Structure 1
């Protein structure tokens, strides 16, 4: 059986060099500054994962291996057997960049809830823009 998940890609333009945006976003210690539902995050000592506290649960989170392509995919495991992937890219655009985030509607997730998740993701990208443009 083939499974196809609905998805939505959102983006923001940031007037900050792509490599700076990538480095800030790659550093999971910065998550509480721009990810609205992240209350805290702590690196696991024995793996490349981090544990993120949210209002809903504690979730294991991994970010894609550091790369030069701007790939920042995040995989989170909020419960055993449940894995959520958010595909994220930082793409150079002149002296700034575009940040794209694709979210997937999980099986059984109502459309209204998915719309709320997408809206929260857009707010997170806007937070990222505000923080990074404010540093320059």
Structure 2
């Protein structure tokens, strides 16, 4: 494997819901504010884009097309114009599933900032788990 010099961390959570249920909920950008607070507190459709108000300012969120593979990759375009690619998978795990987010250290990111981002992702995944496991329907 060729190293790009970038560090990745795979962060996951088991959810006691089916892959289809979790994927259906998590792949809908309108649901992001309920569980992905690290990304933003609100999101709205603006033409053909999803725009969130994040701690960094206005960001554009673009998911890959819905698919049967459990791929929830999404790009977040920051106010600076830089785009961050976020690989996410929903995979079968027994009767439930696991959601795995690959966090990549961005160029110039220090250890403390990388750790802060990892903690925010874990908090978001934990909210997703709690929300979906406590909901009857969504």
TM superposition score category, shorter chain reference: over 0.9
TM-score, length-scaled by structure 2: 0.91
Determine if the alignment matches structure 1 residue 92 to structure 2 residue 85: no
Structure 1 unaligned runs (5+)? none
Which residue is 1:58 aligned to? 58
Counterparts in 2 of 1:76-115, with a 5 A limit? Answer: 76-115=76-115
* 3-state DSSP of counterpart to 1:79: coil
TM-score, length-scaled by structure 1: 0.92
- Retained in 2: the 8 A contact 1:14–1:132? yes
- Retained in 2: the 8 A contact 1:61–1:77? yes
For residues 11-50 of structure 1, the C-alpha deviation after alignment (integer angstroms, 9 at most, x for no partner) is 00000011000010001111110012311001121x2x31
- Retained in 1: the 8 A contact 2:60–2:78? yes
More deviation in 14-23 or 29-38? 29-38
| Runs of 4+ with deviation above 6 angstroms | none
Q: Could you tell me how far 1:56 is from its partner in structure 2?
A: 1.9
CA RMSD of superposed structures (Å): 1.3
Which residue is 1:18 aligned to? 19
2 CA distance for matches of 1:44 and 1:101? Answer: 26
